[in-house]
């Protein structure tokens, strides 16, 4: 997050959300078709499903993963696994297009050398939401989180290090990326219930897909 880096890329619309957090408006737009093709292959191998929280609630977002590790939730808790519990085989490989985008978004936000080993894929349909939480199931918090939005717009909530801290609301649109790491790595965040107009892309019309890249292991 240096002024020099910004100067090298004058076209990038980079909006700070914290000292080590920023929104990269439209960062993924050039990669959308490639990402959607790869996503279809991932979903065939490990379909989206509604996971159950440790408290017994069924999540409104539908979830799958790709990469060596995948995030899961069930009655036993939240954790990363190498195996998709839906069928007992490894999660599908992280597509090259996903990896490249994650590395480039991290670097654009000032985090060089990001090597994610997990990509959590969340699908939101109207009404689906993700309540305020921290990403803290990863083995160490040295690497940033890279989050990429596709399809319908959503209201992202970005809070502080305590659940009760004030929350900034940010509209996330198709192609936007958000990166948070360093001192912002454990900020609470969430997504308000999805509402509003369908997206013109035929594969994304009535839904929002979020790709969240992490270094989990
Ligand atoms: C997440 O926190 O895992 C997802 C955030 C989002 O959907 O924008
Ligand atoms: Fe999260």
Ligand 2 centroid vs 135 CA: distance in angstroms?
5
Whole-number Å distance between alpha carbons of 214 and 217: 9
Q: Take atom 2 of ligand 1 and give the residue whose Cα is closest.
A: 190
Closest protein CA for atom 3 of ligand 1: 212
Atom number in ligand 1 closest to CA 120: 3
Number of residues assigned to the chain: 217
What range does the domain containing 159 cover? 2-214
For the chain, how far is it from start to end, CA to CA, in angstroms?
25
Does residue 2 register a pLDDT over 80?
no
Q: What is the CATH number of the domain that holds 167?
A: 2.60.120.590
Q: In the structure, what pLDDT confidence band is assigned to residue 13 with cuts at 50, 70 and 90?
A: confident
- The domain total for the chain is 1
Q: What is the percent of the chain where pLDDT is above 70?
A: 94
Encode pLDDT of 60-117 as tens digits.
Answer: 999 999 999 999 999 999 999 999 999 999 999 999 999 999 999 999 999 999 999 9
CA of 134 to the centre of ligand 2 (A): 6
pLDDT band at 207 (very low <50, low <70, confident <90, very high): very high
Ligand 1 neighbours, Cβ below 6 Å, are: 120, 122, 130, 147, 156, 189, 191, 210, 212
186: which 2 tokens? 């454990």
């Amino acid at each position: 997050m240096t002024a020099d880096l910004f100067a090298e890329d004058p076209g990038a619309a980079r909006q700070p959300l914290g000292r080590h957090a920023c929104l990269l408006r439209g960062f993924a737009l050039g990669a959308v078709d490639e990402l959607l093709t790869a996503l279809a292959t991932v979903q065939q191998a490990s379909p989206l499903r509604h996971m159950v929280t440790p408290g017994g609630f069924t999540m409104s977002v539908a979830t799958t993963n790709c990469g060596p590790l995948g995030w899961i939730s069930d009655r036993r808790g939240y954790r990363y696994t190498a195996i998709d519990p839906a069928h007992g085989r490894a999660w599908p490989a992280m597509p090259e297009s996903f990896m490249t985008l994650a590395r480039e978004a991290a670097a654009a936000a000032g985090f060089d050398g990001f090597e994610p080993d997990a990509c959590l894929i969340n699908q939101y349909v109207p009404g689906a939401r993700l309540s305020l939480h921290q990403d803290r199931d990863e083995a160490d918090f040295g690497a940033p989180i890279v989050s990429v939005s596709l399809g319908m717009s959503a209201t992202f909530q970005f809070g502080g290090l305590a659940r009760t801290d004030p929350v900034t609301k940010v509209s996330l649109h198709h192609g936007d990326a958000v990166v948070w790491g360093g001192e912002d790595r454990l900020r609470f965040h969430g997504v308000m219930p999805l509402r509003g107009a369908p997206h013109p892309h035929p594969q994304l019309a009535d839904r929002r897909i979020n790709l969240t890249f992490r270094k989990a292991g």
